[in-house]
Each structure stands twice: as C-alpha cells, then as structure tokens.
C-alpha cells in the first residue's frame, strides 16, 4: 500500500499531467528533402494576389487555413527565375529573413476589420499553438513573430517561419522541417526521414529559386536571428 506522502505525490503528478494543455505537446515533424521550387500559394489558402512560397510548406499552409482564419499577406520575397519579375514585398524583411527562402509567411486575420478586433482571435490561437511560450516556438516553426515582438502582434501581423537548412538568401534550402498532415489532421507517426543520399536528392543546388541570380544571390548563407 502506498504511504500517504507517496500517494499524494502520485496524485500530484497525475493531476498536473491531466491539467497540462494539450497544445504544449510537441508537434510531430519530419524533414522534407527533395526537389522544390517557389510556387504560387493555392487558392484554398486565402492570400494576397501573387504570393508564393517553397512548395514543401504548402501542405502545412493548407492545414492551417482549414483550422485558423488566416490571410497570407507575404511569402517568398525576391526575384523569380527566368526573368519572371519579383514576388513578395520588396524591402519589407530583415537581412537573411526566411522570406528570402520562401519558408516564411506573414499572416493577418481573414475577417479583421482593423485593429486587434475579434477577427484576430483565431490568429492569436494559432500564434499560441505555434509558440506556447515567448521565444520558444514549437517545431517545425523556427521563428514566430506576434505579441511581444516589435512590428508584429494582434492587429498587425503574425509571422511564421519553418525550420530549415542554412541557405543563402534567394536560394532553396536543402531541407525544411514540416509537420506531416493527413486528411484528418496531423499524422501522429511521421514517416521516417530518409537520409539525404549523398547528394541532396534532386534538389536544385543553392542557385536561387530556379536560378535566381544577380546581386541578391551573392549573399552569404545564414539565418537571421528572427527570420521576419
């Protein structure tokens, strides 16, 4: 039989385990290697005309758009290959921002009417889900900019970046961390991550999103501290 002290300790553990918010649990993630490109954001994800991202985060964005009232205002920022002009907001982001790799999005409330109104409740929920504690985002997110971060927050915008291999600006990262999604939700058992066999499998080497060149592409690699 358990002594009262032990019983109490056991109950305390049980109680705290039950009380712990489900949202604090880690999100199962995997690393997505493989060929990628910068693609237009699909119509199922509300967004500003012309916004683009690295294809590997599109399934995550679709999943988010089904559950949170998001409207993407910026994704990839930089030149497009083949003289296709530019995508994204020019001069909006910090040096080495994840936006330059197509692995970040800026989000506002789909139904916000100005300011931090009720339309932002769902965005605040999303921000807390991605970053339950300030400056401690859960994987796969690398940086979450919201309340407490200058230039971000309720009524302004939410920034989400995905963790990725270090890559120079205006190039595609060798891998991206994502949460695997199924029709019903986040898969609890992510597929084992295939190791990169020798060469990154079919990945375009860091030459820019399909060959982005010019002065922008000469940047050294690295990640910004914030990624916004």
Residue from 103, 94, 78 nearest 166 by CA: 103
Round to whole Å and give the CA distance between 89 and 42.
18
- Interaction between residue 174 and Zn ion (CB under 5 A): no
Distances (CA, A) of 120 to 89, 132, 149, 222: 22, 17, 16, 33
- Interaction between residue 149 and Zn ion (CB under 5 A): no
- Interaction between residue 226 and Zn ion (CB under 5 A): no
Q: How far is the CB of 80 from Zn ion (least distance, A)?
A: 19
Q: How far is the CB of 17 from Zn ion (least distance, A)?
A: 36
- Region from 83-91, 129-137, 158-166, 168-176 binding Zn ion, contact rule CB under 5 A: 158-166
Residue closest to Zn ion when measured from CB atoms: 159
- Interaction between residue 159 and Zn ion (CB under 5 A): yes
Rg of the Cα trace of the chain?
A: 20
What is the token pair recorded at 177?
């961390």
The region, left, alpha or beta by phi > 0 then psi within -120 to 50, assigned to residue 65 is alpha
- Region from 46-54, 121-129, 183-191, 220-228 binding Zn ion, contact rule CB under 5 A: 220-228
Beta bridge partners of 181: 186
Q: Which is nearer to Zn ion, 177 or 228 (CB)?
A: 228
Q: Which is nearer to Zn ion, 106 or 131 (CB)?
A: 106
- Interaction between residue 106 and Zn ion (CB under 5 A): yes
- Interaction between residue 228 and Zn ion (CB under 5 A): yes
Mapped to the 3 state alphabet, what secondary structure does 130-174 carry?
HCCECCECCCCEEEEECCCCCCCECCCEEEEEECECCCCCCCCCC
- Region from 26-34, 104-112, 162-170, 177-185 binding Zn ion, contact rule CB under 5 A: 104-112
Q: How far is the CB of 68 from Zn ion (least distance, A)?
A: 16
- Interaction between residue 51 and Zn ion (CB under 5 A): no
Round to whole Å and give the CA distance between 111 and 13.
41
Q: Which residues bind Zn ion (CB under 5 A)?
A: 106, 159, 228
């Amino acid at each position: 039989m358990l002594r009262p002290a032990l019983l109490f300790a056991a109950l305390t553990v049980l109680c705290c385990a039950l009380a712990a918010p489900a949202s604090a649990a880690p999100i199962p993630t995997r690393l997505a290697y493989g060929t990628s490109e910068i693609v237009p954001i699909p119509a199922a994800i509300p967004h500003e005309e012309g916004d683009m991202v690295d294809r590997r985060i599109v399934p995550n964005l679709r999943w988010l758009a089904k559950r949170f009232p998001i409207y993407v205002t910026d994704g990839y920022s930089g030149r497009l290959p083949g003289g296709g002009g530019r995508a994204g907001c020019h001069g909006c982001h910090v040096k080495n921002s994840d936006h330059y790799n197509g692995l970040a999005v800026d989000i506002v409330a789909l139904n916000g009417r100005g300011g931090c109104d009720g339309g932002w409740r769902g965005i605040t929920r999303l921000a807390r889900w991605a970053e339950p504690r300030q400056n401690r985002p859960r994987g796969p997110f690398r940086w979450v900019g919201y309340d407490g971060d200058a230039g971000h927050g309720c009524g302004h915008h939410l920034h989400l970046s995905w963790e990725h291999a270090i890559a120079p600006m205006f190039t595609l990262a060798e891998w991206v961390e994502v949460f695997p999604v199924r029709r019903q939700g986040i898969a609890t058992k992510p597929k084992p991550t295939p190791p990169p066999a020798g060469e990154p499998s079919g990945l375009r080497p860091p030459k820019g999103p399909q060959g982005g060149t010019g002065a922008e592409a000469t940047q050294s690699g690295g990640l910004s501290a914030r990624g916004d």
